[in-house]
Amino acid sequence: MPLSLRPSLRILILALLAFAATARAEWQRTDTTLAWKAGDAVVWQFNFDAASSGKPFFHPLGAVGGANVTERAPSDHPWHYGLWFSWKYINGKNYWEEDKVSGQPAGKTAWTAPVIATQPDGSATIKMALTYINHDIPRVDMVESREIAVSAPDANGSYTIDWKARFVAGPEGALLDRTAMPGEPRGAYNGGYAGMSLRMAPTGPAYVSLGGPITQFTYDGMPDQTRAGERSRPDMPAMGFNFGTDGKPAGGIAFLSDRHNGITSGGGFSSLNNDVHNIGPSASGSNWYLINGPTQRPPFYFADQTILGPKPIQLAAGEKLDLRYRFVLSRAAWTADMLKAALATWPAEKPAAAPVSAAH
């Protein structure tokens, strides 16, 4: 046999190593965290300590035997929490940024202790109730039922995270807004972000879309922008982010957005996403906000599925908004074909988050 391992044998060895690590895996749980460990390494950890963070979040996060893909509370944006969800403005109150002195946002995201069920194979479900509170009035702007399902890792160390949420507007309704988009009145080059977000590890990923690698980044990321920069706003339902070491794949994450995201209980689209099998332009031409900032200090790698990119969402009192996302952690590098396959195997269903009592 040649000195260098044949590709098929190399894949088999990696699979056996992943299986061996998983066989020694175990749960590690505290009052404020849930972690799945393979050997000595934390594969993923869900954090829900309200005293030390403004939002529940995943960090660290990676495939079994793969690189960590997230960054928590970097010095430039300490309110970035690995993989997390946050609205920007609800009824004019800022729920995203946190005061750098007090560490508190103007709008408070509160939650009850999650209901957690774990299985020996590494799968878990996490159910939470969250409340979005304007303390100045005081008033509940919105409540949320959230359910997160983490699958067991397969023989290659890959697994999925299915994240779904149902939001219900408070008695005064809920205007979900963001910094204005480029081209809008008072628009900013960094406008549009809010919702499901990923702050990535400072080693930095390669960005991949359903159309292939993303290599062009501009000042504001808009389609007609020619000035070079660090932003891109691709328009499609899935993105991949690949990490490597010495030119070799070290793991990555796929970020999928359900085509029904943005449909309110009134039946209308408050924001348009593309059909899984029809990757055409959306109403705004922008479903994602990506930052590729290797020269920033600290390095700035960021992805946000811009649910509010097309326009703000106005919910009437009691009106519902369902959102659903899937994340796939893999040790293999994501390609356009792999992203298409991940979309094709994701069940096309509207989310129905479990009814859990809200926090107050």
* Per-residue pLDDT at 9: 54
Helix (H, G, I), strand (E, B) or coil at 34: strand
- What's the chain's average pLDDT? 87
Region 177-185: mean pLDDT is 96
Residues recorded for the chain: 360
Q: How far apart are CA 165 and CA 150, in angstroms?
A: 15
pLDDT level of residue 24 (50, 70, 90 thresholds): low
Q: Given CA atoms 15, 34, 76, 222 in this order, what sign does their dihedral have?
A: positive
What percentage of residues in the chain have a pLDDT greater than 70?
84
Q: From CA 122, how far away is CA 357, in angstroms rounded?
A: 27
Q: Using 50, 70 and 90 to split pLDDT, how confident is the model at 7?
A: low
Pair of tokens at residue 203:
């080693």
Helix, strand, coil percentages for the chain (3-state, nearest 5) = 5, 40, 55
Encoded amino acid at 125, one letter: T
**CA 251 → CA 7, 194, 333, distances in Å?**
18, 26, 6
For 193, the token pair is: 């972000």
Q: What is the mean pLDDT of residues 237-258?
A: 94
Look at 191-200, 277-286, 347-356 and tell me which has the smallest mean pLDDT: 277-286
| Angle, CA of 123, 125 and 127, to the nearest 5° | 170
- CA–CA dist 296, 318 (Å, integer): 43
**Residue 113 or residue 20, greater confidence:** 113
pLDDT above 80 (res 337) = yes
Confidence of residue 10 (pLDDT cuts 50, 70, 90): low
Q: Give all domains of the chain, ordered by start, each with its CATH number.
A: 7-344 (2.70.98)
Residue-wise pLDDT tens digits, 301-327: 999 999 999 899 999 999 999 999 999
Average pLDDT over residues 202-215: 96
- pLDDT, tens only, 59-83: 999 999 999 999 999 999 999 999 9
H/E element, 257: strand 248-257
What's the predicted TM-score (pTM) here?
Answer: 0.88
Q: Which residue has the higher pLDDT, 300 or 265?
A: 300
What integer pLDDT is reported at residue 2 of this predicted model? Answer: 47
Tell whether the model's pLDDT for residue 146 goes beyond 50: yes
Instruction: List CB contacts of 10: < 8 A, sequence separation 6 or more.
Output: none
Q: Where are the alpha helices (DSSP H) in 32-94?
A: none
